[in-house]
Amino acid sequence: MHDQGFGNVTVVDISAEPFKTLAPQCTNWSDHSFIVGDFFNHTGSYDLIIEQTFFCALVPGLRQAYADKMHDLLAENGKLSGVFFNIPLGIDNPPFGGHRDEYLEFFQNKFEFNIFDECYNSIKPRAGNELFINLKKVG
């Protein structure tokens, strides 16, 4: 994203391991771009948060907390955009799937739904199994 013109990109992960591969590719990023820590304890204010595979890695019992935390992290009129699985998946292990209707409940009181539909450009193995979301923070 940084190479696409986004000036301030921050990556948060519970483990430092992904940054060992990512950091050498991002030599012109600032030191504070990589944050190792618990998402639920993270503080910050963001105009845009991109979701890709984090939501499905969380046990389903944490999904409302995820929606609440995303709302907290987004600046006024900030957007959450990304992809969710729209199929049942793991019961005991990630990735955890789900369905559009259950996801709506987590976000409906905190976000305006700009897009919450089947992803039209999924890779072939995931075609028809993903939702593209673009949500705007309200309140």
CA distance 41 to 28: 27
The set of residues, in sequence order, having a beta carbon less than 8 Å from that of 59 and lying 6+ positions away, is: 94, 96
Quick one: pLDDT at residue 33? 83
Model pLDDT, residue 106: 97
User: Among the residues of the chain, which ranges form H helices?
Assistant: 17-22, 63-73, 100-107
- Global pTM? 0.89
**CB of 115 within 8 A of CB of 71?**
no
What averages of pLDDT result for each successive group of 10 residues across the chain (139 residues)?
69 89 80 85 95 94 98 98 94 93 96 97 94 97
Quote the CA–CA distance of 79 and 69 in Å, as a whole number: 13
Q: Write down all domains in the chain, each with its CATH number in brackets.
A: 1-37 (no CATH), 44-137 (3.40.50.150)
